[in-house]
Amino acid sequence: MMKLFAKINKAIPSSLKLCFSTTHLGKYLRSLDLIYQATDNDLFSDKNSSDFVLHLSQIHPQLPHFSAYCGFDPTSSGLHLGNFISILTLVRLSFFGIKPIFLIGGATGLIGDPSGKSVERKLLTKEEVKINFDGIENTIKTVMENLNDYLQSEKNDLDLGKKGFDGKYSIENNARFYEKLSMIEFIRDFGKHFKMQVLLNKETVASRLNNEDGISYAEFSYQLLQAYDFYQLFLEKNCILQLGGSDQWGNITNGCDLVKKILKKEVFGLTTPLLVTSSGKKFGKSEVIKKYIFF
CA distances, 100 to each of 95, 103, 185, 217, 275 (Å): 10, 10, 30, 32, 21
* pLDDT recorded at residue 150: 82
pLDDT below 50 — which residues of the chain? 1-8, 161, 287-295
- The amino acid at residue 249 is W
* pLDDT recorded at residue 61: 93
The dihedral through the CA atoms of 126, 129, 135, 139 has a sign that is negative
Residue 163 has, within 13 A of its CA and on its CB side, a CA count of 24
Q: What is the maximal distance between C-alpha atoms in the chain?
A: 58
* pLDDT recorded at residue 287: 47
What is the tens place of the pLDDT at every residue in 262-293?
Answer: 999 999 999 999 876 555 555 555 544 333 33
Smallest CA-to-CA distance from 270 within 247, 249, 255 is with 249
**Separation CA 268–CA 168 (nearest Å):** 22
* pLDDT recorded at residue 13: 57
What is the tens place of the pLDDT at every residue in 176-198?
Answer: 999 999 999 999 999 999 999 99
Asked if 141 and 171 count as a contact pair (C-beta separation under 8 A), the reply is yes
Residue ranges of domains in the chain, CATH in brackets? 2-275 (3.40.50.620)
